[in-house]
Structure 1
Amino acid sequence: MDINRQQKAPIYEALEEFKKRRVVPFDVPGHKRGRGNPELVQLLGQKCVELDVNSMKPLDNLCHPVSVIREAEELTADAFGAENAFLMVGGTTSAVQAMILSTCKAGDKIILPRNVHKSALNALVLCGAVPVYVNPEMNAKLGISLGMEIDQVARAIEDNPDAKAVLVNNPTYYGICSDLRAIVKLAHSRGIKVLTDEAHGTHLYFGENLPVCGMAAGADMSAISMHKSGGSLTQSSILLTGKAVKADHVRQIINLTQTTSASYLLLSSLDISRRNLALRGRESFARVAKMAEYARNEINSIGGYYAYGRDLVNGTSIYDYDVTKLSVYTLDIGLAGIEVYDLLRDEYDIQIEFGDICNILAYISIGDRIQDIERLVGALQDIKRLYSRDRTGLLSGEYINPEVAVSPQKAFYAEKKSLSIKDSVGCISGEFVMCYPPGIPILAPGERITKEIAEYILYAKEKGCSMQGTEDPAVEYLQVLA
């Protein structure tokens, strides 16, 4: 990485120069630097709306960058150790889908764990690729799925030598990492590309003593949520590619679905955040890891909670662990994770990332302070004292192995009928059902609805999980294949 070059922020600098020129706008957006919408100015501030501009020659164009955006992407590739980088304004959803759509076409096989984000399965609906699931082991106590074991990946490749790609979560939402280097070596030996969903792994590129990042492990493509742990604005992300990937083809694929009216607020936030991480990321993420470890120790000292970390590592299904993730098991105090999540928000004004059936996740990043950690720990201590109860009757488990009956694309576009959740048992789902966050489907199009899955959906609803994916807003009925 060229530190001297990394001090530049070409998109941000071009915007600042543009602002000085006081250009009269006869283009979009129609608010005309905020003059047409004073309430928007009041909400966002004058500087923000003045920088909400359209693509023009001095500011380049994200669909076909030739100047400042091109330079920003080159700086991003350099900072992340990639051959090429693409700035994404459709979130990491767009980046994950671009990875899959540029690697797989209709009928192609892709090897992936079933606990992927819905964006990956949506990509299969769009392109018609066929999933070959490596069903990871479960941690029976924590109720979470673990990493992809190298032996499982080897068997999947042996059974499907014509597969085009292997997709790996690095890390999972809960911080668990697979042996990425070994998976890359194995897949490449068979001519198969490796794609990494690093929505929760931006910091792996800049931290010390953290799990290996996708590009360093030799992955072909990596989708990065810069807005999660990297500090950019929500919805801004990055797609990285290695030497064996044809970048021009990837750009064409991205342009199939990405907006032609890219937000310069998002683009400049990526530019500034990349510069910040390149110059200060190592020290910033060392502080993040230290805060997370401190919080983990403090929460475990309360009793009843289990804030897990590197103690889980077993060298196979949990090859490594991202210590910046503060995942906490709550069932031993008699409360589901989603119940603790709700209490923290409603009673203590603390918003954490998510709660599922067994766990909560507090996202620690470069913007956190030690006093915030202390407040979280104090609230958890209070919740245990005031609300803990017997855990009898609480379900355990975040993931149920599915039976894939037909491809996601075929099921999504098939003729369907609507049935109540209880009556849908035995049928094939034509839609997604998931708790969001984290957005990992309980049920995906093409999967058979079992009694266990139906009961889990109803239980998650009852506990207060935010359910998404169904045509029915109330999630009382499911669309199944007719």
Structure 2
Amino acid sequence: MTERQNEFRAPVAEAMKAYAGDGALAFHTPGHKQGLGAHALLRELITPQGLREEVSLMEELDDLHEPTMCIKEAQDLAAELYGADAAYFMINGTSGAIHTMIMGCLKPGDKVLVPRNAHRSMIGGLILAGVTPVFIQPRIDEKLGIPMGLVLADIVAAADAHPEAKALLLVYPTYYGVTIDLAEVAEFVHSRKMLLLVDEAHGPHLKFSDRLPLQALDAGADMAAQSTHKILGSMTQTSILLVRSGRVDLERVRSAASLLQSTSPNQLLLASLDIARLQMAEQGPELVNRAVQLAERLRQRVNEIPGLWSFGKEYLPVCEGLDLTKVTVSVRGLGITGVQAEHILRHEYKIQCELSDAYNLLFIISYADTEEQAAVLERALRGLAAQFAGRQELTLPVEIPLVPAEGISPRKAFFGGRETVDFEAAAGRIAAEQIMFYPPGIPILAPGDVIDAEALYYIRTMQRLGLKVVGPADSSLKTIQVVEEI
């Protein structure tokens, strides 16, 4: 078999099918015994063939923690497709991949540079590894009311102030699709002997279109965690961690991945990663470029609707780029919040967006979408705009709070003593828990932050707008947990 033919195989899926067809009587896990004991509802969710193949740890099916056969072959094919030196299949999401990045490269006491709009999983990785963050404020777009990319000068200033920093942990692209000149950042970071570790959760498709920003690894990143399930065709909870050797110890990364993942990985999840890679090998550029074209046409049509606006690449400064498949629609011109708009679209038009915030809706256009689906969305947005035509533009009396004053490390705050205080009286104390709105899952307060009045006001305002509070023990926000004073 030629190397090119090998690229168009799905080794994990093939091994599962072969095992199920071998006819061996199952006196092993899982308890449903290849579907024989499955409840009718489970049989409705998963096909009979899928249940027959839902086994793991058999000799023919390889071992995720010490792969030598089909899983190793599938990971090697993924590494080849994405241009990595190694690829690791992750069955606990990109959160697990991010934790693996941090624990596989850093050690307790290390300092790292981190954008303040990092996902909650990055804070979790810092806690697990005992790493101390130096937060950098991203650029805030006042019209959209959202954080955008980091500015290189701010990265340089943080590195100058903390020459002991071991890595820059970066979000690329942001949830809204904004990127920075990562090649320029990589050159600087490496000149300071730091690692560039990238949360590329929303960029697993970037590799397959020259109309999109460079994928992180091609721009010089040492590691990149990609949510294959978010944009491509694998099952929810599956991701890939891509690694370049040289500055990174591959064996330590493998050990960290093994430490953080289940010892009983679901073979269906692994097969879905394998098949998603196969789909991109077969049709990646065709499918992703179609999604780009569809998103661009949708953006153009949205901008023809009075009261709505969707920013494009031309809106951004020259140092930033845009994943064109992320269509952010500002509804502030309709005089309503994004939360209100999401509710109306969901319940009156049967349209579900990816997220809403104070001013915006985010729609993800993937390789699966069609012209017909885009037309349905366009009609719904026109209907929404017609309902609120002529209203005054919405301006909220609140802005995203800036980076809080440095308190203590996230790990020390997490494991330290804590006490519960009235939310309104927490200013000046150190947070012992995370508070965020989900999605996008970006902490407004993280363990170790010094709480200030501006952050409390912002959180309370967003809560009143209807955004979903996630993280605190008291989701009503009557109280908040803070580090116990000694």
**What is the match of residue 8 of structure 2?**
7
**What is the match of residue 447 of structure 2?**
445
Q: Give a deviation string over 1:269-316, Cα, whole Å, max 9, x none.
A: 000110111121101110000111011011110021110110223123
Contact 2:332–2:395 (8 Å) recurs in 1? no
**What is the match of residue 267 of structure 2?**
264
Which sections of structure 1, spanning at least 5 residues, go unmatched?
none
**Secondary structure, in 3 states, of the residue corresponding to 1:307?**
coil
**What is the match of residue 27 of structure 2?**
26
**What is the match of residue 47 of structure 2?**
45
Contact 1:196–1:222 (8 Å) recurs in 2? yes
**What is the match of residue 332 of structure 1?**
333
Contact 1:142–1:397 (8 Å) recurs in 2? no
State how far apart, in whole Å, the 1-side matches of 2:397 and 2:24 are: 61
**What is the match of residue 371 of structure 2?**
370
Aligned residues: 480
Output the amino acid matched with 2:131. Answer: A
2:387 corresponds to 1:386: yes
How big is the shift at 1:399?
5.3
State how far apart, in whole Å, the 2-side matches of 1:51 and 1:391 are: 55
RMSD of the TM alignment (CA)? 1.6
Question: Which deviates more from structure 2 when the two are superposed, residues 358-367 or residues 472-481?
Answer: 472-481
2:255 corresponds to 1:252: yes
State how far apart, in whole Å, the 1-side matches of 2:321 and 2:220 are: 17
Contact 1:358–1:398 (8 Å) recurs in 2? no
**What is the match of residue 182 of structure 1?**
184
1:282-321 correspondence runs (5 A): 282-316=285-319, 319-321=320-322
Q: Give a deviation string over 1:373-432, Cα, whole Å, max 9, x none.
A: 111111111112224543456345455432231111111112111123212222211100
Output the amino acid matched with 2:306. Answer: G
1:161-180 correspondence runs (5 A): 161-180=163-182
Output the amino acid matched with 2:107. Answer: K
Output the amino acid matched with 1:96. Answer: I
**What is the match of residue 125 of structure 2?**
123
State how far apart, in whole Å, the 1-side matches of 2:156 and 2:475 are: 41
1:393-408 correspondence runs (5 A): 394-395=396-397, 397-398=399-400, 400-408=402-410
Contact 2:115–2:138 (8 Å) recurs in 1? yes
Equivalent residue for 2:280, pick from 262, 266, 277 = 277
Instruction: Evaluate the alpha carbon distance shift between residue 26 and residue 398 of structure 1 in structure 2; reply closer, same or farther with a 3 A threshold.
Output: farther
Contact 2:401–2:455 (8 Å) recurs in 1? no
Contact 1:143–1:396 (8 Å) recurs in 2? no
Equivalent residue for 2:411, pick from 401, 409, 412 = 409
Contact 2:105–2:249 (8 Å) recurs in 1? no
Contact 2:105–2:252 (8 Å) recurs in 1? no
**What is the match of residue 151 of structure 2?**
149
2:220 corresponds to 1:232: no
Output the amino acid matched with 1:8. Answer: R
Contact 1:87–1:238 (8 Å) recurs in 2? yes
Q: Give a deviation string over 1:28-59, Cα, whole Å, max 9, x none.
A: 11111122222211332212222211211100
Q: Give a deviation string over 1:210-244, Cα, whole Å, max 9, x none.
A: 10111111211000100011111000100000021
**Secondary structure, in 3 states, of the residue corresponding to 1:4?**
helix
How big is the shift at 1:16?
1.2
**Secondary structure, in 3 states, of the residue corresponding to 2:304?**
helix
Which sections of structure 2, spanning at least 5 residues, go unmatched?
none
State how far apart, in whole Å, the 2-side matches of 1:399 and 1:217 are: 30
Instruction: Evaluate the alpha carbon distance shift between residue 155 and residue 3 of structure 1 in structure 2; reply closer, same or farther with a 3 A threshold.
Output: farther
Instruction: Evaluate the alpha carbon distance shift between residue 69 and residue 133 of structure 1 in structure 2; reply closer, same or farther with a 3 A threshold.
Output: same
Instruction: Evaluate the alpha carbon distance shift between residue 368 and residue 396 of structure 1 in structure 2; reply closer, same or farther with a 3 A threshold.
Output: farther
How big is the shift at 1:332?
1.6
**Secondary structure, in 3 states, of the residue corresponding to 1:302?**
coil
**Secondary structure, in 3 states, of the residue corresponding to 1:290?**
helix
**Secondary structure, in 3 states, of the residue corresponding to 2:242?**
strand
Output the amino acid matched with 2:26. Answer: P
Contact 1:27–1:54 (8 Å) recurs in 2? no
How big is the shift at 1:474?
3.1
Question: Which deviates more from structure 2 when the two are superposed, residues 2-11 or residues 237-246?
Answer: 2-11
Instruction: Evaluate the alpha carbon distance shift between residue 152 and residue 473 of structure 1 in structure 2; reply closer, same or farther with a 3 A threshold.
Output: closer
**Secondary structure, in 3 states, of the residue corresponding to 2:211?**
coil
